[in-house]
Amino acid sequence: MPNLSKDSVDGLRAATRGQVFVPDDAGYNEARTIWNAMIDRRPAVIVRCAGVSDVRGAVNFAREQHLPLAMRGGGHNIAGTALCDDGLVIDLSAMKSARVDPFTRRAYVEPGCTLRDFDHEAQAFGLAVPLGINSTTGVAGLTLGGGFGWLSRRFGMTVDNLVSADIVTADGELLHCSSDEHEDLFWAIRGGGGNFGVVTMFEFELQPLGPMVYGGLVVLPLDQAKEALGHYRTAVDSMPDELTVWCVSRLAPPLPFLPAEVHGKPILAFAICYTGPVEDGPHAVEAVRQFGKPYGEHLGPMPYTAWQQAFDPLLTPGERNYWKSHNLSALQDGLIDALVEGIGTLPSPQCEIFFGQVGGAMSRIAEDATAYAARDAKYVMNVHGRWSDAADDARCIGWARAFFENTRPFALGSVYVNFMTEEETDRIGAAYGPNYERLVAVKDRYDPHNLFNRNQNIKPSAAA
């Protein structure tokens, strides 16, 4: 633990409108708990900021005290970058304002907002931004890594809807960046993660959507996976941007529309979201219903906010999680064979593998338009290892890594940075591809001493 004097901590408390926690304080252990239970780190000090002044003070304190610095928004990052040992954590979870202007279709969102917080405000006016699939995810981390979800085929990545941002840089200054101001920094934060500062406000362009969408699940036996995925890959190129269909393979949870004898059996589920006119929904999803003979299905109109929360029960906090991910341009036969084999050897009933369909609008943007570069991906594959007991760590991590290696020959080589685990620093170049050197140049300008390094780190030239 660093040698922080009582006077220095007392001075930090006095200068902070929010809360300051050190290890002996009540609330410290709660403040260092995040979504992934595998992450167990003990910061020297946690500053739960109430506003921009607190953020600036925390950045300055960390820099002046030579402390490792981490940033926590929603605390969902799989690699656990929200925390650091023996350093300072800027906890943004109390900064949860989301102000929607329905007349200009703009939203002004603080970094502690979750997807649920944001959707609650935006959907009151029938407006939305493409954001994730789990409502407890933080808007900030998801956005800074690129961000995708059920709406991305229609409206692009989350960063494609970002208009501007306020950001506290390594020198403690607050900058406003957009396509007209600090353009290089604005380009870099649209996919470059938390490498360049602490974003204290996001301005999004809102899209008209909802409040109702059409969708749900079609659940097939796993022994139909090869034929069903063959139909699926044939159909995807003719799907309209308003239709997004993800494939999820796992053991069947106890869904009420599935017979009890199916619960716990290996399945392939097509998760469907259609955002065109609700009355057109049955026709839009009919082809998916014909991919196989399902165990059961649950389809119909529903509030967009309900669909955004539909997978929350499978992604509750407090479990142990380990992910491996590939970007894919096609679902090749060998990949499908590997999928069937991988689901046949699941080490935990909570583990799953999904292919998240992207493409559409997000693919019609140039790869150098934002730091997020993987515009050629049609699917984002995530191998989601999830379990409860630390004694199962080696077995579950080994399963995820083995499937990842078995499917490497069928992948593009790029990766979605938000799905990278802590030990994957060798893939940072692959995450940014041709944009990496330009990101280094922005890092050199705004964080040359690499204060913001608890992330998938883009090292400045001096530290490379």
Q: Does domain 6-91 have CATH number 3.40.980.10?
A: no
Angle at 309 between CA 355 and CA 214, to 5 degrees: 75
3-state DSSP assignment of residue 331: coil
The CATH T-level fold of domain 98-209 is 3.30.465
Burial of residue 263 (CB within 10 Å: 0-12, 13-18, 19+) is middle
Angle at 91 between CA 90 and CA 96, to 5 degrees: 130
**Can you say whether the dihedral through the CA atoms of 231, 294, 339, 153 is positive or negative?**
positive
Per-residue pLDDT band for 464 (boundaries 50, 70, 90) equals: low
Separation CA 376–CA 360 (nearest Å) = 10
Using the predicted structure, report yes or no on whether residue 1 has a pLDDT greater than 80.
Answer: no
Task: Give span(s): CATH 3.30.465.10, the chain.
Answer: 98-209
With beta carbons less than 8 A apart as the criterion, state whether 91 and 73 touch.
Answer: no
Q: Read off the pLDDT of residues 334-371 as tens digits, 9 standing for 90 and up.
A: 999 999 999 999 999 999 999 999 999 999 999 999 99
Residues in CB range of 376: below 8 A, 6 or more apart: 327, 329, 363, 367, 412, 414
Using the predicted structure, report yes or no on whether residue 2 has a pLDDT greater than 90.
Answer: no
Per-residue pLDDT band for 3 (boundaries 50, 70, 90) equals: confident
Using the predicted structure, report yes or no on whether residue 158 has a pLDDT greater than 80.
Answer: yes
Neighbours of 369 (CB within 10 A): 15
Q: Read off the pLDDT of residues 368-381 as tens digits, 9 standing for 90 and up.
A: 999 999 999 999 99
With beta carbons less than 8 A apart as the criterion, state whether 387 and 176 touch.
Answer: no
Using the predicted structure, report yes or no on whether residue 117 has a pLDDT greater than 90.
Answer: yes
Closest CA to 381 of 418, 356, 362, 347: 356
The average pLDDT across 227-234 equals 97
The average pLDDT across 135-163 equals 98
Task: Give span(s): CATH 3.40.462.20, the chain.
Answer: 212-419
Separation CA 23–CA 90 (nearest Å) = 15
Q: Does domain 212-419 have CATH number 3.40.462.20?
A: yes
Task: Give span(s): CATH 3.30.43.10, the chain.
Answer: 6-91
Averaged confidence pLDDT in the chain: 97
